[in-house]
Amino acid sequence: MSEKKSVYKPKPVSGFPEWLPEVRLVEQQWLDHIRKIFESYGYCSIETPAVEELNVIQAKGGDGGADVDKEVYIIERLHREDGDKEARLALHFDQTVPLARYVAQHFNDLIFPFKRYQMQKVWRGERPQSGRFREFYQCDIDVINVDNLPPHFDAEMPAIIWEILTALPGMQKEKIQLQINNRKILLGLFSEILSPLDQAEVLRVLDKRDKLPPAEFQKQLDAVLKKHLTSPFQLGDVTNDLNELFEFRDGIVQADIHEQINLLKAIAAHKFKSPSKEFHEGLEELVFVMQNLAHLPPNAVVADFFMVRGLDYYTGTVYETRFIDDPGYGSICSGGRYDDLAGNYINKHLPGVGISIGFSRLFDRLRQQGKLPVDRVSPTDILVTLMDEEGRAIAAKKAKQLRELGFNVELFHKGANPKKQFEYAEKKGIPFVFVPKQDAPGVWEVKNMQTREQKPEKEGLDELEKFRAA
Amino acid sequence: MSEKKSVYKPKPVSGFPEWLPEVRLVEQQWLDHIRKIFESYGYCSIETPAVEELNVIQAKGGDGGADVDKEVYIIERLHREDGDKEARLALHFDQTVPLARYVAQHFNDLIFPFKRYQMQKVWRGERPQSGRFREFYQCDIDVINVDNLPPHFDAEMPAIIWEILTALPGMQKEKIQLQINNRKILLGLFSEILSPLDQAEVLRVLDKRDKLPPAEFQKQLDAVLKKHLTSPFQLGDVTNDLNELFEFRDGIVQADIHEQINLLKAIAAHKFKSPSKEFHEGLEELVFVMQNLAHLPPNAVVADFFMVRGLDYYTGTVYETRFIDDPGYGSICSGGRYDDLAGNYINKHLPGVGISIGFSRLFDRLRQQGKLPVDRVSPTDILVTLMDEEGRAIAAKKAKQLRELGFNVELFHKGANPKKQFEYAEKKGIPFVFVPKQDAPGVWEVKNMQTREQKPEKEGLDELEKFRAA
């Protein structure tokens, strides 16, 4: 088997990330932490298959809207037989479409409000040259209820996300901020000047305000307004009024919200004649949510009247989350309230609210910046050394005992001199090494690889307990 | 939104299982348990992408051998542009091919012996009518080393698997047994009567001994022997000799192994002339592994000279695992030692040994038999009741305190009478409910939903601590 062979040297597949063990270990810490917080609020886990029927995937309503079709991966058996009459299957590109399908399909077996979290990989067939991930983890929570969903869930989402993001290993020093808004506010403002069907189109353009160069944004805004303005409104007036609104402070902290809302109301009454009931409802809901987030630090969550999300299916509260120092990164975590997500699949009225962490992109950002606490190549807490084959039975027994105490324990794989075994522990980031005491069979000493001190077993075990508690 | 709409009623996709939340919760307990035991032996986690290049998937060596090609799912962008010159991608059908590719690709960044576990979904495009899973979890461990892999790893695999399978929730009462063998034993016997290249083909037929009707098995065995026998051996003689061997006891416990091996040696010397060095090596390795499993119960692991696994790439130790009362189920968990798995991708000699739990099939068996401890619909430990909106701030504060103690806590979603809230806790299997004491704002009582007793908070918290420790 030792002759040189012709080998097929595999390359990474663009857009499908994979990590070395030491990075994967931190990824597991992230996933565990997120799961723990989700569960601490009583959300249950579900997993849906990687695939859905293409019909389901293409039904309107998913994250990404019309553009998503381009990104769908279909799957097919390599050797499909002619007689097969199966529905076409596609990999899911988000967890919202599968959730809607799941709730409709299992409606009679679920307990509402249905609070679920879902942490799976999703796939998007981005153009290969885009440099984006084509496979990535999303971590979502949603609550869905029948007919009516109490508004305090709109406040629970940002509270959970704040708790998660500020305590992820490596994220503690990052300055982040959640932005919150209610789509009804702008929709209400526009209800007088645009026909209802066109309002969402204007919101899609407004969503690009931070992403486009100012002139290009103005051009697109003018174009969409010109197309849809109802009389007697004039393009020039409306554009000016909107630009005046844009002067409004983004990022309104809770203490200022009432004052800012009164200002907005005054401008709205003056410029946009009589803003609809929807406008006032949106403001009330926004205030309610902000009040229910009063326990968070003052800058954790801010209101922003112009953050609208580009997706049509949001109907009220919307969320985005930014790095304060790096707004260009876009949103770490986004979501909102929807009126009736599963309406394509079931004749029930099922309003919901949800939020989604773009996990892999965020994780990879911190990885690339060297901010992840990557220090262990394996989960092993203790290496039990093996001096020679004769010592194996005693060493194996010690390893077993230590496992029963709840530690992760590796027995060195062959008899070798201690130096070599310490080097192995060093390379793998194993923090403690058990060494047999010379000329005292069955007696062990414990080397702490950080302090380099070697102590009697009992003291070593105390240090191990401290290490575990940390 | 309340008018009746035409809806697309989604159906389950055959072969792609999904569970209700209460079943998923047990599935998570299984996955957590398996991970914990894998890590307690110092195995690190890796995850590989769902896809590999089709070239890699089709390279020889994977689990399933030649048949696998039929089961491969390829993926393709729904709207592929003509200019795309990408490699064809396929979903992985096991975790062994991805491991081989991973080790070759990251060879310089890994520490050897490389001990990894992997718990991911795999996909097989089975014929739709087969009723088999097309998406399922596998839980694998493997150790790979450079040039030489110490034999005690062959004993570590069954020890880990025994620890896992006997403690999975719902599996504690199942009678299971690991079977172990070494392929070199039969290969060594055959080395005199068959040319080397054909020995694996005979083993593939022998692997079907329990799966085929006896006459059909005999027919296939005769056919393959007839094709490959070297002179001066005669088909009739060899068939008779083999049938005599088959009388040999399956399931040899450790206490009997030496006696049985001596018997086998005697028969081999008599019938098959001079069995090769390989034959004796195989016997020695088998004895070594059995001796290193002496700490397990007497019937946990048995030797079986005729269990050979159908896959060509195993070169020594092989494992299967059966339900003693239901041998027809096939193997719960299988694996073995291979000489050089990554040889297609790298010019290194990388022997390894591994074992794989067919997770989803096993889990679904116990689910269908009603053996899983399915009793909670959510991870919530405590429901904090909410009598009316005025009480929300106090209730939310209590929920937060309890979360800080490490409990999973749900605040009831709206003001409602206590009866309704108890019913909700009952339906979701939430074990404890916090109720405000009448006429004593800020004072709480704790109802244990199992005993139906309502006690002061302090006593309730003691019961909660006991519940958590259980």
d(CA B123, CA B51): 10
Contacts of B21 in chain A (CB under 8 A): 44-46, 110, 116
Tokens describing residue A235: 């393009």
Report the sign of the C-alpha dihedral through residues B177, B183, B185, B189, in that order.
positive
pLDDT beneath 50: ranges in chain B? 1-2, 61-66
- The pLDDT score that the predictor gives to residue A221 is 87
Mean pLDDT computed over every residue of chain A: 90
Torsion of CA B93, B97, B98, B103, to 10 degrees: 170
Residue-wise DSSP of A27-78: HHHHHHHHHHHHHHTTPEE----SEEEHHHHHSTTSTTGGGGGGGPEEEEET
d(CA B453, CA A203): 54
CA-based nearest distance A383→chain B, Å: 9
- The pLDDT score that the predictor gives to residue B127 is 77
Please state whether beta strands A454-456 and B44-45 pair in parallel, antiparallel, or not at all (unpaired): unpaired
What's the number of CA atoms in the CB half-sphere (13 Å) around residue B37? 22
Confidence of residue A4 (pLDDT cuts 50, 70, 90): low
CA-based nearest distance B105→chain A, Å: 6
Q: Which of B2, B4, B6, B13 to mutate to test the interface with A (most CBs of A within 10 A)?
A: B13
Q: Which of B25, B30, B40 to mutate to test the interface with A (most CBs of A within 10 A)?
A: B40
d(CA A187, CA A278): 7
Q: Flag whether pLDDT at A174 surpasses 90.
A: yes
pLDDT tens-digit map of A265-302:
888 887 777 678 999 999 999 999 999 999 999 899 99
What's the number of CA atoms in the CB half-sphere (13 Å) around residue A320? 24
Q: Flag whether pLDDT at A68 surpasses 80.
A: no
Largest Cα separation within chain B, whole Å, is 100
Please state whether beta strands B352-357 and B135-144 pair in parallel, antiparallel, or not at all (unpaired): antiparallel
d(CA A440, CA B363): 47
Distance from chain centroid for Cα B103: 21
Tokens describing residue A433: 């090494």
- The pLDDT score that the predictor gives to residue B61 is 46
Name the more confident of A210 and A101. A101
Q: Measuring CA to CA, how many Å separate B443 from each of A441, B363, B464?
A: 59, 44, 17
DSSP-based three-state secondary structure for B72: coil
CA-based nearest distance B214→chain A, Å: 32
d(CA A155, CA A287): 10
Tokens describing residue B387: 């009598």
Contact in structure between A304 and A252 (CB atoms under 8 Å)? yes
Question: What does the pLDDT average to over A88-102?
Answer: 95
The contacts of residue A116 (CB under 8 Å, 6+ apart) are: A43, A44, A45, A46, A99, A141, A142, A144, B21
- What strand order describes the sheet that includes B409-411? B409-411, B382-384, B432-436, B444-448, B454-456
B233 backbone dihedrals φ, ψ, rounded to 5°: -75, 145
d(CA A146, CA A113): 7
Q: Which of B314, B312, B105, B89 is nearest to A7 (CA)?
A: B105
- The pLDDT score that the predictor gives to residue B222 is 87
**Beta strand spans in A62-146 (E):** 73-77, 89-91, 114-123, 135-144
User: Could you say which residues from 250 to 289 on chain A have a Cβ atom under 8 Å away from some Cβ of chain B?
Assistant: none
- The pLDDT score that the predictor gives to residue A86 is 74
Largest Cα separation within chain A, whole Å, is 99
CA angle A318/A320/A321 to nearest 5° reads 150
Interface check for A454 against chain B (CB to CB < 8 A): the answer is no
Contacts of A137 in chain B (CB under 8 A): none
CA angle A25/A30/A35 to nearest 5° reads 125
- SS3 readout for A317-375: EEEEEEECCCHHHCCCEEEEEECCHHHHCCCCCCCEEEEEECHHHHHHHHHHCCCCCCC
With CA atoms as reference, the chain B residue closest to A129 would be B84
- The pLDDT score that the predictor gives to residue B65 is 47
Confidence of residue A202 (pLDDT cuts 50, 70, 90): confident
Burial code (b: 16+ CB inside 10 Å, e: under 16) for A293-304 equals: beebeeebbbbb
CA-based nearest distance B279→chain A, Å: 19
Interface check for A16 against chain B (CB to CB < 8 A): the answer is yes
d(CA B95, CA B360): 15
- The pLDDT score that the predictor gives to residue A245 is 77
Please state whether beta strands A382-384 and A409-411 pair in parallel, antiparallel, or not at all (unpaired): parallel
DSSP-based three-state secondary structure for B424: helix
Q: Which of A23, A83, A96, A308 is nearest to A185 (CA)?
A: A308
**Which residue type does B29 have?**
Q
- The pLDDT score that the predictor gives to residue B91 is 97
pLDDT tens-digit map of A211-225:
889 899 889 988 888
Interface check for A73 against chain B (CB to CB < 8 A): the answer is yes
The contacts of residue B237 (CB under 8 Å, 6+ apart) are: none
CA-based nearest distance A274→chain B, Å: 25
Interface check for B388 against chain A (CB to CB < 8 A): the answer is no
pLDDT tens-digit map of A20-42:
999 999 999 999 999 999 999 99
Contact in structure between B31 and A116 (CB atoms under 8 Å)? no
Report the sign of the C-alpha dihedral through residues B69, B70, B73, B78, in that order.
positive
Interface check for A448 against chain B (CB to CB < 8 A): the answer is no
- The pLDDT score that the predictor gives to residue B445 is 97
Confidence of residue A232 (pLDDT cuts 50, 70, 90): confident
pLDDT tens-digit map of A439-458:
888 899 999 999 999 999 99
**Packing angle, helices B277-291 and B257-271, rounded to 10:** 170
Tokens describing residue B440: 């004593």
CA angle A165/A168/A169 to nearest 5° reads 150
- The pLDDT score that the predictor gives to residue A383 is 98
Instruction: Give this prediction's pTM.
Output: 0.94
Q: Which of B378, B422, B424 to mutate to test the interface with A (most CBs of A within 10 A)?
A: B378
Tokens 């709207």 map to which residue? B79
Binary contact (A17, B49; C-beta < 8 A) = yes
With CA atoms as reference, the chain B residue closest to A21 would be B46
CA-based nearest distance B213→chain A, Å: 29
The helix (run of H) or strand (run of E) holding residue A376 is: none
pLDDT tens-digit map of B268-315:
887 776 678 999 999 999 999 999 999 999 899 999 988 888 777 899
CA-based nearest distance B7→chain A, Å: 5
CA angle A443/A444/A449 to nearest 5° reads 170
Considering only the beta carbons, identify the residue of A16, A28, A79 that sits closest to B69: A79
d(CA A439, CA A416): 17
End-to-end CA distance of chain A: 47
Rg of chain B on CA atoms, in Å: 28
Interface check for B42 against chain A (CB to CB < 8 A): the answer is yes
d(CA B218, CA A429): 55
The helix (run of H) or strand (run of E) holding residue B386 is: none
Please state whether beta strands B444-448 and B454-456 pair in parallel, antiparallel, or not at all (unpaired): antiparallel
Contacts of A380 in chain B (CB under 8 A): 42
Question: What does the pLDDT average to over A140-167?
Answer: 96
Interface check for A393 against chain B (CB to CB < 8 A): the answer is no
Q: Flag whether pLDDT at A8 surpasses 50.
A: yes
Burial code (b: 16+ CB inside 10 Å, e: under 16) for A392-421 equals: beebbebbeebbeeebbbbbbbbbeeeeeb
DSSP B426: H
Residue-wise DSSP of B83-135: T--PPPEEE-SSSHHHHHHHHHHTGGG--SSEEEEEEEEEE----GGG---SE
End-to-end CA distance of chain B: 47
Which residues are A44's β-sheet partners?
A116
Q: How many CB pairs under 8 A join A and B?
A: 269
Which residues are B411's β-sheet partners?
B384
User: Could you say which residues from 117 to 176 on chain B have a Cβ atom under 8 Å away from some Cβ of chain A?
Assistant: 121, 123, 125, 127-128, 135, 145, 150, 152-153
